[in-house]
Structure 1
Amino acid sequence: MKQNSYLIKALLKEAQPQKRIQITRRVLQVKRKLALLLALVMVISMIPMSAFAASGNTETIIRGGVPRVADDYDSEVRRGEFTSLNSIIIRQDNYSVDATNFQLRIENGSWSGNAAYSVTDGVYGVDHDGEYSIASRTDRVLDIQLDRAITSGNDFEMPLYFKADGSGPVRVTVDPLDSGITGGTFTVANTAAGATITTIDDVITFSEVGSLDPIRIEETSMGSLGEGTHRVRLRLPSNFEWTGSEPTVRFINGLNGKASDNVTRYDGQRDLEIEITIDEQSRTRGAILIEGAQIYATSAAREGDVEVRVSGGDVTSETFLVAKYSDFDVTVKADGEPAELISGRFESNFDDEAHELQTLVIEEEVRDALLNNRRTTVELPSWVKILGVDVDVSGGDSNITFHGVEDDNEDRIENVRSGLYIFEEEDRGSNDIEFTIDSDSSDETKVELTFYVSVQASREGDIEAVVSGRSGAEGTVVLGTARKAVDFEVVGAVTTLDIGTKGQPIPDMIISEIDAEDILEGELIVNLSGGVTWDDYTVTVVDGDLEIDDVDDSNNQLILTFTNSDTSSVPSTIEITNAAINVDRTPADGAVNARIAGDAVRPNFSSANGATDEGYFDTGWVHSVKIADILAGGVAPGTDMPKVVLTIGSSTFTVDGNAEVAPAAPYIDAQNRTMLPLSIIGRTLGAEVDWNEASRTVLVTKGSDRVLFTIGSDAMVVNGMSIPMRSQAVITGDRTFIPLRDLGIALGVDVQWDEATRTVTIN
């Protein structure tokens, strides 16, 4: 290879530019052909040699196919009596083969019969009409003497008598021993544990008497149910009985016409006993069908699963589920996989699939399980609003009535069985809905509800429906998953900015579509925190075919405009690079965040009065990402922390003796823990603080330590480890408060309490 490389370099060096291009192309062509040849050689080397058994002097086939047998199968059904399931045939392929010797070796089994049999007396040790004979044998190897040539029309065929050892598929290898026969390895049987497998077509739900689906007792291999009588018992749990007319027993497939039955025990008993007589073993796998069986739940029966234990004869003992018993049972489920919705969408037609959740099914398993005229509530997450519903009620004359909403014609939605109902404009602001079901006792009632919803643009995750009330329908199911229209990330480290300074650089930002057309016609706005304005930037589409019609800025807003013809056909990526911003003198210490907003990514935003009752949200952003810190005389991350003294109930605190005023006062909660306002944590602890509205979490970072609080949780996550707290992070009066003692321990900060002065000192 090195010589070839040197030759190529020499040719290129001596060639004129035009010739050098031609030589390069020839070299590339040769390299491609060489790579293709090497890939082909590698593929061929990975194919098992047994796959080439039909390419050579002879070909080998297994007549009778590859049966499934019991893991202890033996061709010797009685001593000295053998039954063959298949045979091995070696026939001429390209050339004939003269009389010769070869071997047959068996894997995951052994040759039937006693290995001590002499060659002339054993089952293999006979001369087969001058065609072949067994020269010698062990449990796993047969030495074959071929007494005549294999030519066209004159095949070698030998029945296979073997015993499986349960370790896997039984295989036979043809070893040519330097003869003209083509070697190879062939699967001659697959094994299965146990003699039978017992199943039922479907599990029913019943309240007193239930008619079971057919019970199937199936052989795992041909002949696994031996000849003779088998007393099969099917036992119910305590307080359940077999009832009604005797079930019908049928024999199918390999057992058809080879067996008979007699039901000896049934009505009023826990045990169903059947005498099954096998007159002749099956040559293909057979099955026993038990049809028409009924079970009765006594007054002492317990609700839940009903399992039957089957045993007796050669039937493999096992327990299987046949029914579920319940006095009253209602199923609450989703009619398929959750639908994926894009947060922030707001189409002109609310029955568009952009708003459609998976169908919610409320179904009676037994009649009268649903209580009439009792209200049922379906509640979705607080960040979802219901715009309308598609109804389908089946089962007799059952119907449904909705409460507190009207359709878009301002008509009540009552006593309906089917139809699409978009709610009246002022009824689209709720995440829950109430209804009553009028259930017809003549049949099981089934209610299918397909909700059309609006999802808050800044939220994502599972859209769960919680079904509750006094009707008997209860449960929680996932009807959809919400995702944001775009991803937004900052590239590089967060910078520190000075107040009153223009043209300060900030990290690059990337806006990425998840799917094509996720960015709609309209404006996409990158909005900066207050007191900060855009100075310079470069906006580029680096992936995909999205086109930006216009780029402009206004104070703290960078505005990207898209027309209908600009939307993408493949997911696209936008980069904002070489950006700089201006910081005036009004901001206090804290983070500068960039937020993604605009009707191109969240058209369901409106700040108009009453709009939130019409399906809109007043949250105006999709993503919020920290891009910088402003240092206006506070504690920079990584510097020494001053001495801070806080007084319970007072918003005035001191920093190294200098008085300052906090937006809220610390207080002591019910667990006797000091709660510190989030807004002064950075100032008092020398830490960075990030608030995530979407997940309702607070991330406090000091040096290499990271502490995550979740509102309402009594555990904090310190450097990835969950640690319990005596108090929770809470929101009180629109202010977020954090347990000071727990935070101080997590960050290694000294916190001292003075009961006399009711002050906390942080060193």
Structure 2
Amino acid sequence: MNASTDDLLIRFPADTIVSDVYAYAPPSIENSDNQIADVTWMKKVNPNSNSYVFSVQRNTASPGKGFFYIDFQGIRIPSYQKGDFPAYMEASPNSVFSTEQLPLATISSGKVTLSVDEVASISSDSAALSTIRIREESPGDLKIATDSIELKLPPGFKWKLNGTATNETLWGDLALGSLTTENNDQTLKIGIKLKSGVTLVPGSKPKASTIELSNLLIEVDEQVAQAGDVNVTFDGQSDVTASSMVIARYGGYSLKGGPYGDIPTIIAGRRDQPIAVFFGEELAPGTIDVNRSITATVPKYVKWNRVPVLDTAISELGDEIQMQRFGTSGTDLFYKDDDGSKINGRFTKKTQKRAAKVYFKKGTVDVAPNFKGLLALEFGGTSPMHGKMPIAKVVPPVAMQALKPLEIVAGVKNQKLDDIIIAETLPGALLAKQLRIYAPKGITFEQPPGFEVVEGNLVLAKNSVNVSDQNDNGDPYVSVDVENSSSVASKIKLSNLVVNADGSVPDGTLVFEIKGWDTATSEITQGDFSESKAAETVVANVYRSSTTPKTLQALFTIGQANAQFAGSEVTLGAAPYIKEGRTYLPLRDAAKAVGIADADILWDPATQQATLSKGAKFVQIQMDSTTLRVNGTEMTMDTPPEVVDPGRIMVPVRWIANAFNANTQWDEATQTVTITAK
């Protein structure tokens, strides 16, 4: 046996009297040799002192824990001592022990203290607890009875008595008696009796005792048990210092997981786009059982390209966990299904003592041109990991906005449209391919329009503008070739747009779209997805020569809570007012004034964002922000929206009106603003 020795000095407060001292080191701890081979009380520092020196012999060959006990018998504490009663432990500089103050007791009327060596992590249907220690603070506190102490488990947990429990009296005259259960095994009754061979003189009390209870088992009903701390409540004839104690931590058959690090922003219409590194973590060892499967499904209009691989550099594999491998490389832990929407994996070993936390990296996806927003994986299978996990933010390659939709008449040729701005959302969003802008059936282009880069460093090919009366689906389009992609997000102005509208074009909004397979906005080819539209905008309102465009007129007066809508008086949510030269109206009233129905006014309290939609146009406005988004294109207002009593959202009305192509007129004399919309 390899051994070394350390001296340890323990000192008590002044006027403390100790009758006797015992020291003891058990031979083993948790099935391993004790790292403490022996402990011996050597001497007092001097006969009148309260300091004691112990020699502690270590077994350095043992891989286990080190425990030893020191029992100071018959301690007399001075009457003036209140609160915590400490011992001062002192050691030499090179000792394995530290110099510190240890609270040994709290001076009180006398109670029983229960504690556990450590809070056990459990997840299986039957699990062993750590050792429970029962300690009297003074003789007579621990009652001799079959129900001296009762431990009641929460719902979903039961005590399992199958003869495995063991006990030991560390010191004192008491011992463990019977162990029984009641309340459908939810309550454990601990009996206490006199230790064998102990006889009490009438009127005397047994010596204060400390008893250890080990290898107790509890069963878990995973349909009822709640994950988290397993808290037992105390009852019985003995007075226990606390009302409850945490004896275990139940992980349940569940995992937690999420993205690791930043979530990347990727572009719709691209292949092989990187997703975030993500992880799955067991809440307790053994959560992932053998042959449990795990699936990760991407949403519609997204497909897996490369399956994620295990990041061995940062993963914690626990003691046993292993996944079945797929693929000739021998490193793929997932495989794709036939349509590419789902990846599958299966676990072939599970953890026993150490929980696993696994990270997966290098996963990529193909994204259809029309997908945008948060991309989240949907986890399923027979493993406990379920739910959605965000792994990327998807932005469209471009945003498209007509400066001002005009009125055109069905059945009339040579009608001019206003300019259109096409803005990249990120540098390089437009590929070096053909950019196509489609019109609906019934519309033809009278002449090739102009394409001009007005911002950024995108390069358009010279003499590449083309007009096509129709494509395979019958929709006409104009196009231009992108010669070089940008390194700075760029904007293109489409001008000199002149169209012919035949009689088949219906009344209402006229929408142009940017779409097409294998184009500047999509490296995806036809067949992978069903939709190629990347952006759209309203370019005109169509009516027939026999009809007149319907108009809506609303009249608001500053400081007045009533207004005129199409000649009828209505009550507003709040009175309009002027602030820093800008006219503010209630959000809903401003929206109605430009022709937006109540159903098309959406408010998200979580993000504090309002969304207004009319036809193919939607406008988003954020509280306390000067950013206004029109079909995804950001504009900066000169003043933000705000809230006034009684909780009404007020907006600068001119910005809302302009966004929906409504006309505003201000009359200084009458302090009125008139909004005219179609």
- Shorter-chain TM-score: what band? 0.3 to 0.5
User: Normalised by the size of structure 2, how large is the TM-score?
Assistant: 0.45
Higher helix share: 1
